[in-house]
Amino acid sequence: MRLAFVALSAVVVHANADEYQVKAAFLYNFAKFVEWPPDVFESSDSPIGVCVVGQNLFGHALAEIVSGRIVNRRSFLVRQISDIKQASHCQILFVSSSERMRYGAILRELRTGVLTVGETEGFIEEGGVVNLKLDGGKVQIQVNINAADQAGVRISSKLLSLAQIIRKPAQAK
């Protein structure tokens, strides 16, 4: 499993569609390497909610990648949300770059137990947990350890070994 994740982390992005296919694969793989507080799920078989807020450039790629997949006995449910109040059933929240002016407000409104994933400079500084940074045609992972602790999500050392670790103070809620 780690070999596949390492190979995925080195994928070169050639076009916008490819970029979002790679990012969708990362979101799926994050579910394998993150532990959520048990009370985040309504029941032992509740799906992992993967939500997108803002402009959705994934097209069908995200739904296709998680379709039929199971992680820790949980399926996936992909949702596009327009208001952060709709994030109550999201365990992974992808915050599109179209929302960059609202990062702080979005992150402050979330309950604990949400792995927030962004894609632009400033997301980590505002308190986001993971940033998928496009650098030299490759998608690279940045992780804000302090924000993960505040969000109540535990990130596996396997994932952390592939990421650039950033220790920015998490924003007060």
CATH level 2 (architecture), domain 2-166: 3-Layer(aba) Sandwich (3.40)
Low-confidence ranges of the chain (pLDDT < 70): 1-17, 169-173
Q: Kindly tell me the sign of the dihedral angle through the C-alpha atoms of 51, 54, 60, 62.
A: negative
Nearest to 116 by CA among 22, 36, 25: 36
Output the pTM of the full model. Answer: 0.88
Could you say which DSSP state residue 128 is in?
Answer: -
pLDDT tens digits, residue range 26-56? 999 999 999 999 899 999 999 999 999 999 9
Torsion of CA 116, 35, 87, 141, to 10 degrees: 20
| Adjacent-strand bridge partners of 21 | none
Q: At 46, is the secondary structure helix, strand, or coil?
A: coil
User: CA 131, CA 16: separation in Å to the nearest integer?
Assistant: 17
Look at residue 171 in the predicted model and tell me its pLDDT: 58
